[in-house]
Amino acid sequence: MIMDSLKEVEVNTARDALVLLSRMIYKKYGDEVLPLIGEVCRRLGRAIGNQMRTNLDSFDLKSVGSAFLEGAKRRKSPVTLLELTEKRLRCKNERCALGLAGAGRPLCEAMMNMDIGTFEAATGEEMELSILKTVAAGDECCDVAFTLKG
């Protein structure tokens, strides 16, 4: 039963609730719901990025990336910065910050639209995401790179 496998998932924030709901509907309906999950996550990310902009003096990728990583550390996420330039941010995390361990790469890709939306709204630039490794697919860590498209 779906609920039995996800009953240990904690919900402390609206984001946690979105992750749990996304896992549940993906498990029940499969790939068909991934575009919906991706769109909702991207919209939430844009809202987060717009809020982030109000606290920043500069909207370049280095400034936004630094603020993003500071937020992750405040949430006690074990994130490690691998690269931060004017055009690219690459970081890794020993656990999935969204709680998607074992949920599968397709759900990871859909849910990571949240971070794409955050970076796009905060920088005002289009971003490309490369998911090099993901705990959702059984990798030992998440390793992601955000690159400015322009």
State the DSSP string of 96-124: -TTS-TTS-HHHHHHHTHHHHHHHHHHHS
Q: Is 17 helix (H, G, I), strand (E, B) or coil?
A: helix
| Inside any domain, residue 108 | yes
| Inside any domain, residue 24 | yes
| Inside any domain, residue 3 | no
Give the CATH number for residue 70. Answer: 3.30.1380.20
DSSP code for 7: T
Q: Report yes or no: 95 and 75 within 8 Å, Cβ to Cβ.
A: no
Amino acid at 64: V
| Inside any domain, residue 41 | yes
Q: Could you tell me the two tokens for 68?
A: 């993003």
| Inside any domain, residue 106 | yes
Burial of 145 (0-12, 13-18, 19+ CB in 10 A): middle
pLDDT < 70: residue spans in the chain: 1-8
Residue at token pair 């904690």: 10
| Inside any domain, residue 123 | yes
Q: Could you tell me the two tokens for 71?
A: 């937020």
Q: What is the model's pTM?
A: 0.91
Range of the domain at 108: 12-148
| Inside any domain, residue 112 | yes
DSSP code for 103: S
**Total count of domains within the chain:** 1
Question: Which among 133, 125, 122 is positioned nearest to 82, based on CA atoms?
Answer: 133
The reported pLDDT for the residue numbered 15 is 86
| Inside any domain, residue 27 | yes
The reported pLDDT for the residue numbered 5 is 53
| Torsion angle (degrees, nearest 10) of CA 9, 112, 142, 125 | -150
